[in-house]
Amino acid sequence: MAEYAAQDLAQAVIDRMADAPNPRFKEVMSALVKHAHAFVREVQLTPDEWMQGIQFLTQVGQMCDEKRQEFILLSDTLGISMLVVAIDQARGAAARTPAPDEQPPTEATVLGPFYWEGAPELAAGADIAEGAAGEPAWYHGRVTDTAGRPVANAALDVWSGDAEGFYDLQKGADAPMQLRARFRTDADGRYSFWSIKPTYYPVPADGPVGKMLRGMGRHPNRPGHMHTMLQAEGHQTLVTHLFDADSPYIDSDAVFGVRNSLIVDFGKHAPGTAPDGRVLNKTWYDCAYDFRLVPAA
Amino acid sequence: MAEYAAQDLAQAVIDRMADAPNPRFKEVMSALVKHAHAFVREVQLTPDEWMQGIQFLTQVGQMCDEKRQEFILLSDTLGISMLVVAIDQARGAAARTPAPDEQPPTEATVLGPFYWEGAPELAAGADIAEGAAGEPAWYHGRVTDTAGRPVANAALDVWSGDAEGFYDLQKGADAPMQLRARFRTDADGRYSFWSIKPTYYPVPADGPVGKMLRGMGRHPNRPGHMHTMLQAEGHQTLVTHLFDADSPYIDSDAVFGVRNSLIVDFGKHAPGTAPDGRVLNKTWYDCAYDFRLVPAA
């Protein structure tokens, strides 16, 4: 049959995949076609709206380069990235039987578009603010597994924006790495480093996704957070953030990434000597957080 | 509330649009978010698959330039373009009450990615093949409204690929227009022109959409067709094709654009004199088709 009625078109596309070699690809694409057609039928999308959609997606693709990923930003702001994270963590939890006395693992959140591979590995306690504007903050805690055993030599990647909310990746083609590093846990699973207390900031809103957010009547802001990624032999990789409890937008993260268990009260301290011996002549903060990793399957 | 369960995330995104200034944009984006999240949940999309999706969409966007629109090709091959066309024509039909004796209007199909604005306007009967390889074909008929009244001075844009199935737009940055022109109907609504009998051809399969089609186990071919667009004062614009009934792939158009009412038997003729007086020393064809336009609202 050459001709299909509108309501039969999705099935016609799916039927055309009868010989798809990879069953999972066939499954994913079949569901995609089914839902995409259901969307178009539900809103009775007009040709003009369709063309606006084509132009929007084209602009999103053409905004991407080595340092900017507008499609990830689109996925983030539509809550899709966070949904994928939530599904993945639920899948991991369902695949194993926790010991009766075990603690829940640290929750994951979005990777975001600002991870930059190859940050320098620094000694525990180093200050990655390197004089950048912002309020000093001391991050410290332990990395254990869900049974409470310390995870030694775990690689802890950390990254954040500066006091104005800008990441190094946003500062032009030649801008060097800033406010990012890798640390290692010690034999007892302990980590510590200095950086700044993270501030809220807008996701990049000068491109098509920013225009979409304005059309949606939404603000583009994320509450202040420190990105972390933990990789350790014998454990599942954890990508998450630590959120500042006092930050504006903590209840309306533009990428829906906040989880209650990741919100930390940053302790405020008068000028003086910090527990690691550093002497500060201005107010400083501390962020205490223990991570729990899931053993690898 | 800062945190959302996976199944509540779509609604959280939708709720964030409470202040969207344009109600239609809000409606469309709310439905998009609902269906996109339903898709991700249904297939339990993994982080790796999500990243493949991000990379695919980025490649599609970056494949686009002034002469290539890979997102339209994606929409076409997923049947979405044809769905939008079908919805639009049904909407147009629902918005008016046809006279009891009126004939159904000519059906629409996809515009496709190869329309090039500004083709030369030629005199009726001109040959746009200009020596291009291919079997000569004489296209002729009338343009009327649905009541059978002739539509004079209608602009009929026509375009097709060559005998190898390639459009001018695919032949490099500097390639001139070929096999496309605009004609005008006469006082009786008649049109005629010479071109070639269209051949089947693959949609551009050297980019990400081609890779997707191979993953789907699908061929990339469209049956032979002559593109037409009709614009006339006081009438709705019609974008459609005339399909060659004898063409391979007439039952499996890669973009799902075939409609039974658009399939034409091309008459085959021995060398000799055509009705318009042209003398041909080889086999030629004729394609007789009458278009019926819908009066504008």
Predicted local distance difference test score (pLDDT) of residue A66: 84
Q: Assess whether A103 and A234 both reside in one domain.
A: yes
Nearest to B84 among A29, A50, A78 (CB): A50
Do B13 and A79 make contact, defined as CB atoms within 8 angstroms?
Answer: yes
Report residue A2's pLDDT band, with 50, 70 and 90 as the boundaries.
Answer: low
Q: Is A217 part of the contact surface with chain B (CB cutoff 8 Å)?
A: yes
Residues in Cβ contact with B92 at an 8 Å cutoff, skipping those fewer than 6 apart = B236, B294
Q: Assess whether B138 and B15 both reside in one domain.
A: no
Q: What does pLDDT average to over chain A?
A: 94
Containing domain of residue A248, as a range? 70-293
3-state secondary structure of A211: helix
Tell me, yes or no, whether B59 lies in a domain.
no
Predicted local distance difference test score (pLDDT) of residue A146: 93
pLDDT of A132-187, one tens digit each?
889 999 999 999 999 999 999 999 999 999 988 889 988 888 888 999 999 999 99
**What share of chain A in percent tops pLDDT 70?**
99
Comparing A296 with B287, which gets the higher pLDDT?
Answer: B287
Q: Assess whether A172 and A96 both reside in one domain.
A: yes
CA-nearest of B201, B200, B193 to B136 is B193
Predicted local distance difference test score (pLDDT) of residue B4: 82
The amino acid at A144: T
Alpha-carbon span B12 to A112, nearest angstrom: 19
Q: Assess whether A9 and A135 both reside in one domain.
A: no
pLDDT of A220-258, one tens digit each?
999 999 999 999 999 999 999 999 999 999 999 999 999
Rounded average pLDDT over B53-77: 95
Do A42 and B31 make contact, defined as CB atoms within 8 angstroms?
Answer: yes
Q: Assess whether B40 and B74 both reside in one domain.
A: no
Report residue B239's pLDDT band, with 50, 70 and 90 as the boundaries.
Answer: very high
Tell me, yes or no, whether B83 lies in a domain.
yes
In angstroms, the separation between the Cα of residue B294 and the nearest Cα of chain A is 17
Please report the residues numbered 93 through 132 in chain B whose beta carbons come closer than 8 angstroms to any beta carbon of chain A. Answer: none
Rounded average pLDDT over B246-253: 96
Rounded average pLDDT over B47-75: 95
Total domains in chain A come to: 2
Predicted local distance difference test score (pLDDT) of residue B2: 63
Q: Assess whether B173 and B277 both reside in one domain.
A: yes
Which residues sit opposite B291 in a β-bridge? Answer: B143
Residues from chain B that touch A215, judged by Cβ atoms under 8 A, are 20-22, 25, 29
pLDDT of B7-18, one tens digit each?
899 999 999 999
Residue B174 has pLDDT above 90, yes or no: no
Tell me, yes or no, whether A284 lies in a domain.
yes
In angstroms, the separation between the Cα of residue A117 and the nearest Cα of chain B is 16
Domain at B193, CATH number: 2.60.130.10
pLDDT of A102-126, one tens digit each?
889 999 999 988 899 999 999 999 9
Residue B224 has pLDDT above 60, yes or no: yes
Residues from chain A that touch B18, judged by Cβ atoms under 8 A, are 217
Q: Assess whether A38 and A180 both reside in one domain.
A: no
Q: Assess whether A147 and A233 both reside in one domain.
A: yes
Q: Assess whether A41 and A86 both reside in one domain.
A: no
Q: Assess whether A91 and A212 both reside in one domain.
A: yes
Do B39 and A49 make contact, defined as CB atoms within 8 angstroms?
Answer: no
Q: Assess whether A106 and A225 both reside in one domain.
A: yes
Q: Assess whether A112 and A11 both reside in one domain.
A: no
Residue A1 has pLDDT above 80, yes or no: no
In angstroms, the separation between the Cα of residue A227 and the nearest Cα of chain B is 17
Q: What is the interface pTM, i.e. ipTM, of the complex?
A: 0.92
Residue B72 has pLDDT above 60, yes or no: yes
- Entry pTM: 0.92
Residue B91 has pLDDT above 80, yes or no: yes
A191 with A124: CB under 8 angstroms?
Answer: yes
